Amino acid sequence: MIKFLNNLLPKIKIMRISKLLRINSQFFLDVLIFHLSKLFRAKVDDNLIIFGSTNGKAFMGNPKYIYNYLKQNTNYKLIWFSKSKSLIRELKLNGINCVYNFSIEAVRLLRKARAVFVSHGYEDILPIKFSPRSVTIQTWHGGDIKIIGNHPYYTKYIYSKWTTLLRAKLRDHQMFDYLISTSGSERPLEILSSALRFPKERILSFGYPRNDIFFALDLDLIKKLRDKYNISNNFKRIILYAPTYREVFTTKDPFSSDAFIKINHFCKKTNSIFLIKAHINESIIKLESLGNIHILNKDSDTQEILCITDILITDYSSIYHDFLLLNRPVLLYTYDYDEYVSKRGIYYDKLEEIAPGPILYTSDELLDALNNIDEIKKKYEKKSEELRNYFNKYIDGKSTERLLKFLKLIK
């Protein structure tokens, strides 16, 4: 074991150095693009709206749902930005107008856009100097459990001092006019404001547009979604495991081979399917596929998957804030709790404060919870409702309309 670790540690250091070089060089380039963009004319086209999401990797998140609403209900010129040429080809086949991020055309369009919607930050599009007449909206993509944004964690593990200085030039509160939140509660808003250094008066507690789909659910939509993700109607119950992104080195895996065999056996016995949805930024997925255990593509639409999910298993991810709107049971599987909290950290003294279900530390505890899910749902019913209202100011399926009316993009 000692020999194995001695061989592994140099590789980890090389990986980290490589990552630092890549990140630092990218930020130097970002600052250069920001200043060069000022050379382009900034005459706004009132009919042009631009979207980007997930660091330019996927067609998903809040921008996707805003795009779909505007396409169905307005005549705006809508353009999706992406860093993936294969994604651009795929979207164009579906009638979606796309532009490659790293192009002169992208800078030109961004300088004249009436509105710009992103989910993760300027990395979704390009770091340009927007016209004073453009309205820019950071729709965001998560909640307030794990440490995010401007926190010492990032300086220690991810960024160098030079990168930290560069980031000060391109922060969300300087690049974007508004930030979207689901909660109207003081604590989540304070955390979001502090983490992203975004003034609270510019945080719009309108709810996430991506969650409007939950309020449009009917049998036809459920059938379409099950067909889309190749989930047979013979399965009585769908269990989704959707862990958060883990940037730092971890010594633990969520499941052993034996644990997978036990879960698969449980699923066969209960006529269930166990879906695994890794975070879009995960580069390695150390999970297995068995008869009743399936791995979803990382760029699968999370909201669509949640629509057909009966039980959600997650950890430090705010995905359950969305899922609470469906009034279905949640299990928190925190197999690496001590390691994660010490390296990344959470905003709450105890995860129990905001847990809508039991906190489970081993695969055996998780399996036991699945076997007793009806009792767990009943036990946590009241707390789940309280947390649903705490993390979601509106429960009406009108988040997209609320936002677009505020921006005067629809009447």
Q: Per-residue pLDDT tens for 91-141? A: 999 999 999 999 999 999 999 999 999 999 989 999 999 999 999 999 999
| d(C-alpha 28, C-alpha 31), whole Å | 5
What's residue 41's pLDDT?
A: 86
Mean pLDDT over 269-286 rounds to: 77
**Measured between alpha carbons, how far is 68 from 64 in angstroms, rounded to an integer?**
6
DSSP symbols for 208-226 = -GGGGGGGG--HHHHHHHH
Mean pLDDT calculated for residue range 307-311: 98
Would you say residue 68 has pLDDT above 90?
Answer: yes
- Give the C-alpha separation, 59 to 14, whole Å: 32
Each residue of 117-130: b (16+ CB within 10 Å) or e? bbbbbbbbbbbbbb
Taking the mean position of all CA atoms in its chain, how far away is CA 113?
A: 25
Q: How many helices, marked H, and strands, marked E, lie in the chain?
A: 17, 13
* Average pLDDT of the residues of the chain: 87
Domain over 13-205 is classified CATH 3.40.50.11820: yes
216-391 CATH fold: Rossmann fold (3.40.50)
Write down the pLDDT at residue 171: 62
pLDDT value of position 8: 43
Q: Long-range CB contacts (< 8 A, 24+ apart) of 11-20?
A: 12/249, 19/158, 20/158, 20/159, 20/160, 20/163
CA dihedral of residues 240, 246, 252, 258 (deg, nearest 10): 20
- Separation of alpha carbons 6 and 16, rounded Å: 16
Instruction: Identify which has the larger pLDDT, 158 or 294.
Output: 294
Mean pLDDT across 209-233: 96
Say whether 216-391 and 13-205 share the same fold.
yes
> How many Cβ atoms from other residues are within 10 Å of residue 351's Cβ?
16
How far apart are the C-alpha atoms of 33 and 38, rounded to whole Å? 9
Task: Please say if the pLDDT value at position 23 is more than 60.
Answer: no
Is this prediction's pTM over 0.85? yes
What is the mean predicted confidence (pLDDT) over 177-193? 94
* Whole-angstrom distance, CA of residue 171 vs CA of residue 198: 9
Average pLDDT over residues 22-35: 71
Q: Examine the pLDDT at 11 and tell me if it is beyond 50.
A: no
CA 172 to chain centre: 16
Mean pLDDT of 191-218: 94
pLDDT of 168 above 60: no
In the chain, where the domains are located: 13-205, 216-391
pLDDT at 342: 84
Q: How far is CA 345 from CA 148, 152, 349, in A?
A: 9, 11, 10
Q: What phi and psi, each to the nearest 5 degrees, are found at residue 389?
A: -75, -30
Asked if the model's pLDDT at residue 30 lies above 90, the reply is no
Residue whose token pair is 């001695």: 6
In angstroms, rounded to a whole number, what is the distance separating the alpha carbons of residues 125 and 131? 15
Signed CA dihedral, 57, 171, 244, 232: sign only: negative
- Portion of the chain with pLDDT greater than 70, in percent: 84
DSSP, collapsed to helix, strand or coil, labels residue 272 as strand
In the 8-state DSSP scheme, what is residue 177? S
Residue with more model confidence, 405 or 25: 405
pLDDT class of 341 with cuts at 50, 70, 90: confident
In what helix (H) or strand (E) does residue 20 lie, and over which residues does it extend? helix 2-36
Judge whether residue 286 has pLDDT over 70. no
Question: What is the rounded distance in angstroms from the CA atom of residue 249 to the CA atom of residue 283?
Answer: 12
Residues 129-150: pLDDT tens digits? 999 999 999 999 987 888 875 5
